[in-house]
Amino acid sequence: MKSLKIAILFVIVSFSAFKANAQSETFKPFKVDIAFGYAVPAGSGSKGGVLFAVEPKYAINDQITLGLRLESALTAYSFESNGQSFTGDIKSTSSYLATADYMFNTKSVRPFAGLGLGIYSVAGVSISDNSQNIAVGSTTKFGFAPRVGIETGHFRTAIEYNFAGKDNGIKYNYLAFKVGFFLGGGKK
């Protein structure tokens, strides 16, 4: 809960600090990013997975946007099959991050770099020996996600690395490759 308060405080301070600056002059200030992608979990035996993200944003000027990322990633680890039994792990990671992006220019193709800070909630299931042994666990961690990408028109591609922490030697970090679009934003 303390981490959520820190993330909310980060967003409020960021909005307050830039309130005196002029609003975006070239681009519409509000937009919502919608992205789909591929998630590659850290650690040995990782198999990959899928993700979906929604991120409402506000442009405080032509080059800086602040937002709130809501993302869910489903990843698989160490699936092995030998005849009639199998073992493996499936993890679901949800994240709630305050984000900031810096756009390097105001042209039609806009490379950017950004950072998100906030809460990662991880739930997992481990299955072994013909579903006779099933273990379920969950944890919540504070984390961050640096990212780089390109926006062109209303389309966006990005690469992010999510530092979601670890617990009992299990890493929850994952690399995300995203493709998506945004509603709103764009040139005025």
- Nearest to residue 177, comparing CAs of 75, 79, 91? 75
Across 15-19, 61-65, 129-133, 144-148, least confident range: 15-19
Extract the tokens encoding 174.
């994952």
**Residue 31's pLDDT is what?**
92
15: how many CB neighbours lie within 10 A of its CB? Answer: 12
pLDDT beyond 50 at 20: no
Higher pLDDT pick, 97 / 135: 97
Q: What's residue 106's pLDDT?
A: 87
Mean predicted lDDT score pLDDT of the chain: 82
Predicted confidence band of residue 42 (pLDDT cuts 50, 70, 90): confident
Range(s) of the domain holding residue 116: 2-184
Average of per-residue pLDDT across 6-11: 56
Is 0.75 surpassed by the pTM of this model? Answer: yes
Residue 44: CATH number of its domain: 2.40.160.20
Please report where in the chains the tokens 């299931």 appear, as a residue: 125
Query: Could you report the per-residue pLDDT of 125-181, keeping only the tens digit for each?
Result: 777 766 566 656 788 999 999 999 999 989 999 999 999 888 776 778 999 999 999
Q: Helix/strand/coil (H, E, C) string of the chain?
A: CHHHHHHHHHHHHHHHHCCCCCCCCCECCEEEEEEEEEEEECCCCEEEEEEEEEEEEEECCCCEEEEEEEEEEEEEEEEEEECCEEEEEEEEEEEEEEEEEEECCCCCEEEEEEEEEEEEEEEEEEEECCCCEEEEEEEEEEEEEEEEEEEECCEEEEEEEEECCEECCEECCEEEEEEEEEEECCEC
d(CA 182, CA 132): 45
| pLDDT > 90 fraction of the chain, expressed in percent and rounded | 47
Looking at the structure of the chain, the number of domains it has is 1
